[in-house]
């Protein structure tokens, strides 16, 4: 089995979707969204669907910058513009592109523990 190294936020990654191919700085990736066994990858200049699951991506992404918000999304924390409490124990993330992503209740505690002083 091939062992993959964790990526760094300064790395460039090759995103390819069939005949489309793009070299993107990992810091430019805003978020990943599940799309069956694929993932939609949103970055500063567009979106591509890649042949990787969120579980695979989560295992390679730097945890200091990327956070698994729920089953559907992994977000780049450097692209978060606001965090809004929702109810007693959950959060809604507002990305700098305007996209709103809810953090699951289970992941909200991890989010709180990791980011609150």
Q: Indicate the SS3 state at residue 42.
A: strand
pLDDT score, position 33 = 97
pLDDT score, position 32 = 97
- CA distance readout (Å), 71 to 57, 67, 102: 13, 11, 10
> What is the phi-psi region of residue 18: left when phi exceeds 0, alpha when psi lies from -120 to 50, beta otherwise?
left
Per the structure, the count of domains in the chain is 1
Nearest to 69 by CA among 48, 49, 54: 54
In a domain, residue 3? The reply is no
In a domain, residue 1? The reply is no
In a domain, residue 6? The reply is no
In a domain, residue 77? The reply is yes
* Residue 30: CATH number of its domain: 2.40.50.1020
pLDDT score, position 1 = 46
In a domain, residue 105? The reply is yes
Contact between 30 and 95 (Cβ < 8 Å) = yes
Per-10-residue mean pLDDT of the chain, 117 residues long, equals 73 82 92 94 91 93 94 96 88 95 90 77
Pairing label, strands 73-76, 29-35: antiparallel
pLDDT score, position 117 = 58
| pTM to 2 decimal places | 0.89
Print the domain residue range for 24: 12-115
In a domain, residue 2? The reply is no
In a domain, residue 4? The reply is no
In a domain, residue 7? The reply is no
């Amino acid at each position: 089995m091939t062992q993959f190294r964790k990526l760094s936020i300064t790395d460039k990654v090759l995103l390819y979707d069939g005949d489309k191919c793009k070299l993107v700085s990992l810091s430019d990736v805003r978020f990943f969204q599940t799309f069956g066994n694929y993932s939609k990858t949103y970055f500063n200049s567009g979106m591509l669907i890649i042949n990787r699951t969120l579980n695979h991506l989560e295992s390679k992404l730097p945890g200091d910058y990327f956070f698994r918000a729920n089953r559907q999304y992994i977000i780049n924390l450097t692209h978060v513009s606001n965090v809004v409490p929702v109810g007693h124990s959950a959060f809604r993330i507002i990305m700098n592109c305007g996209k709103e992503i809810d953090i699951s209740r289970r992941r909200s505690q991890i989010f709180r523990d990791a980011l609150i002083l």
